[in-house]
């Protein structure tokens, strides 16, 4: 079984931009099932020239995760099936003291423009990585900051 262990933070300053390695990856993602704090989610993501279908179990810091490559044309079609807002963002990678951080800068929907979140995936739950100086409040256990919750919130009437 696949397991994801990660911590998530708001980004507190633009200082992260100076540490970026390589070009950013544009992403679009939608949810076929957006789950909730106690329910799984099913996401389709286009990332550059690749596409993935991901099933995530409930949870915050530690949860089941299954990810499978899918043909780009299939992913494009699956995005049209998403009952929720399709999110658009650019993902950047930053190495900080032996850990790879991903920074997601949201572009769309317009309500998310300006939101920047940082995540670090861990090998074990007890790992406590040094935090970069540009991270702000930890939102790992705040369900409002999952991508699925953002898509749900932007789709509410």
Of the CA atoms within 13 Å of residue 124, those in its CB half-sphere come to: 3
Say which of 9, 16, 31, 134 is annotated catalytic: 31
Could you report the per-residue pLDDT of 4-46, keeping only the tens digit for each? 999 999 999 999 999 999 999 999 999 999 877 788 999 999 9
* Per-domain boundaries in the chain: 3-155
Q: What are phi and psi of 39, to 5 degrees?
A: -130, 150
Could you report the per-residue pLDDT of 86-140, keeping only the tens digit for each? 999 999 999 999 999 999 999 999 999 999 999 999 999 999 999 999 999 999 9
Is the pLDDT reported for residue 150 higher than 80? yes
Question: What whole-number distance in Å separates Cα of residue 118 and Cα of residue 105?
Answer: 9
Which residues does residue 8 pair with via DSSP β-bridges, in sequence order? Answer: 119
Is the pLDDT reported for residue 75 higher than 80? yes
Residue 3's pLDDT is what?
92
68 is catalytic: no
Residue 38's pLDDT is what?
84
Options 2.40.320.10, 3.65.10.10, 2.40.30.110, 3.20.20.210; CATH of 3-155: 2.40.320.10
Question: What whole-number distance in Å separates Cα of residue 21 and Cα of residue 150?
Answer: 27
pLDDT-derived band at 1 (thresholds 50, 70, 90) equals low
pTM across the whole model:
0.93
Is the pLDDT reported for residue 157 higher than 80? no
């Amino acid at each position: 079984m696949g397991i994801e262990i990660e911590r998530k933070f708001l980004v507190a300053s633009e200082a992260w931009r100076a540490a970026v390695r390589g070009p950013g990856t544009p992403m679009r993602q939608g949810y076929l099932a957006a789950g909730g704090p106690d329910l799984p989610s099913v996401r389709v993501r286009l990332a550059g020239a690749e596409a993935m279908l991901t099933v995530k179990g409930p949870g915050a810091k530690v949860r089941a995760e299954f990810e499978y490559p899918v043909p780009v044309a299939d992913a494009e079609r699956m995005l049209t099936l998403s009952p929720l807002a399709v999110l658009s963002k650019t993902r950047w990678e930053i190495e900080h003291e032996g850990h790879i951080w991903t920074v997601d800068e949201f572009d769309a929907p317009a309500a998310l423009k300006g939101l920047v979140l940082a995540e670090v995936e861990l090998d074990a739950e007890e790992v406590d990585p040094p935090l970069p100086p540009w991270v702000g409040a930890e939102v790992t256990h705040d369900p409002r900051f999952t991508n699925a919750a953002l898509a749900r919130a932007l789709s509410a009437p």
